[in-house]
Structure 1
């Protein structure tokens, strides 16, 4: 498997001129982009070995993050991947006491919160990214979600391939995509090896802008499994008040209660002004309307959460967003933030 990259115009490549208020909040940001080598925090070789291999091994070792200084690194805590302290316990098949002791409250955490059961039989485009080497056999090794957009292509989040997510500097070993598997405890559906991963090199881990990646499968699936992506002309899908559905296998309570089965929740698309009020650029992050969309409920209660990263947000039968970040899970006035697929349509078309 190999990784590729392409530039995304208009998105800043470095944080050197960015004021501190642009930096992500300190609740959920767990991973950074592969291409630049910036990480939220480094793992020691001992920590990495708990979920697989030591950092710097494999053909992508040239992408290993540099050490840098603490001031160079963004704070931890905002993306919706499986928490680092839980990864080792998943790999060994037990929940370590330390992981439980560190579990956040429901108001501070991102499977889908406030939703209900869903099935891949009726939503075949919902897939799980998995690595049994990194995360063990329990829950099939799932660590992120994704959406089939063609018979061989999956759209997901760039931060799913960061060193802090996978525990290593390369992403070559045993990555797979689970297709048609509603329940992660079963062998239903297909486990398909990953051939290539394209990670947007313009993904900015400080702001989470451009948080997009495309996975290529080794084997095709039926073309009718795929979902169409939103185009720039599909403006009504993003209007304030429109309803959308988010899918995933992540935390259902905000207390790291990862779901074994696929879930979904209906959320309300919010206007840019509401999103900018929720995330004005303080410690909870900055919403950037040019490439992001936010969705939730004004009173809270329904949202994506940890473990849902990369999963689909769907409206009008089209993929309109990818789970990216947020402040806590299902909090009032703190909606989830998603990659705005329509804004990246041309970039994504080049990868299909």
Structure 2
């Protein structure tokens, strides 16, 4: 009897360890109440947990990429062309572009010999950070990759296709300490309270048209809007149900991209619900339109933008590593117009909000100028004016707003300029 009682106590203890109340976790305490459900009306953010995920090699999922921020893994992405990555918008929206890189062909999120430079961030025009509607964005990196066994793009699922069957969701997340799975925990400056598992993991799930567990979100005042796909199982159905709650992780059915993981209540809590993906079926036209527009631009068109981005990264590194800063000296003609570049004429045709290095320097002053410039270009294109008229009208608009040079060692290092209209550039 004593042995039986001891086994029951141990079993009860292990159950409590596996399904600990999320209120005890500092990183998620503000999102959940004592019942284990998200607060009424809240959008439950993903906790980056992986429970009972299978360790896989990137050659099994060669479309999965690691999006790095300042060298460390930040979010999972999906390779859709030789220079475009699809991911969710909410972790990317406020991140300076010079901090982002892309690593392909690696099974471990802390490895990689080649960091691809992100030069364009394209966020969906309807993205709402509060409701996570249209939670989708595209990253354009400068270098064209070469396809190989560990690096391949993936096609989108057909818009009319009925989704049914076993799918896989894959990515990098937190260590699962509930079983005997091997984990090599890493820390992250962006998630200091979490132990990140650098090994790529995958979880199977069943997609079907009738998933009544998805109704659990509506019961708690959280609607599943258009463009959102609810898929997976619930903890109520199976207490040992595997799950993966990693932002941006691709959901693949029949070797086609079905969605990217956006938000949801799970995994590893007492009342897990199926997770919510941004549906690539719903946004097929948005994705394909922008792919076509990006293909009209070559690397030669983006060379200046690439050089400016790399220069900004280098200057930032020098400013943080120098023992003593150089003495300031006067510059002349420190203000000059924001010029309409060749690639700008194509970027304004994209659907969404494009960001590049100009949006993140000079304390967003160029960002505001660029918005005005793009609005003028769009207006003139709608009026079917000639290229010369477009440039002329844009120049008139910019003359009304004094701007700073596109790149300057001084301004990037935080040196303040005085207004001087008769001086020379660096």
TM-score, length-scaled by structure 1 = 0.60
Alignment length, in residue pairs? 233
Q: Is the 8 A contact 1:275 1:287 kept in 2?
A: no
Matched with 1:98 is none
Q: Of 303, 311, 317, which residue of structure 1 is paired with 2:243?
A: 303
Are 2:174 and 1:251 equivalent residues in the alignment? yes
Distance in 2 of aligned mates of 1:207 and 1:272: 24
Matched with 1:106 is none
Are 2:169 and 1:229 equivalent residues in the alignment? no
Matched with 1:161 is 92
Q: Choose between structure 1 and 2: higher helix proportion.
A: 2
Aligned residue for 2:282, secondary structure, equals: helix
Q: Is the 8 A contact 1:146 1:311 kept in 2?
A: yes
* Larger of the two Rg values belongs to structure: 2
- CA change 1:256–1:229 in 2 (3 A) is same
How far the C-alpha of 1:27 sits from its partner, in A, is 2.4
Matched with 1:144 is 75
Matched with 2:135 is 211
Q: Is the 8 A contact 2:66 2:109 kept in 1?
A: no
Matched with 2:362 is none
Q: Of 25, 40, 64, which residue of structure 2 is paired with 1:126?
A: 64
How far the C-alpha of 1:174 sits from its partner, in A, is 2.7
Q: Is the 8 A contact 1:112 1:247 kept in 2?
A: no
Q: Choose between structure 1 and 2: higher strand proportion.
A: 1
Q: For each residue in 1:237-287, what CA deviation from the matched residue of structure 2 results, as whole angstroms up to 9, or x when unmatched?
A: x23xx211111111243983321111111112243552541210625x222
TM-score, length-scaled by structure 2 = 0.50
Distance in 2 of aligned mates of 1:252 and 1:338: 22
Q: Is the 8 A contact 1:27 1:328 kept in 2?
A: no
Distance in 1 of aligned mates of 2:219 and 2:80: 32
**RMSD of aligned residue pairs (Cα, Å):** 2.7
How far the C-alpha of 1:227 sits from its partner, in A, is 0.4
Matched with 1:17 is none
Extract unaligned runs of 5+ from structure 1: 1-24, 29-73, 81-108, 133-139
Extract unaligned runs of 5+ from structure 2: 1-28, 33-39, 178-192, 292-426
Distance in 1 of aligned mates of 2:115 and 2:244: 24
Q: Is the 8 A contact 2:49 2:267 kept in 1?
A: no
Aligned residue for 2:90, secondary structure, equals: helix
- CA change 1:276–1:184 in 2 (3 A) is closer
Aligned residue for 1:121, secondary structure, equals: coil
Q: Is the 8 A contact 1:111 1:263 kept in 2?
A: no
Q: 1 or 2 for the larger relative contact order (CA 8 Å, sep ≥6)?
A: 1
Distance in 1 of aligned mates of 2:111 and 2:138: 26
Q: Is the 8 A contact 2:265 2:272 kept in 1?
A: no
Matched with 2:301 is none
Distance in 2 of aligned mates of 1:349 and 1:26: 38
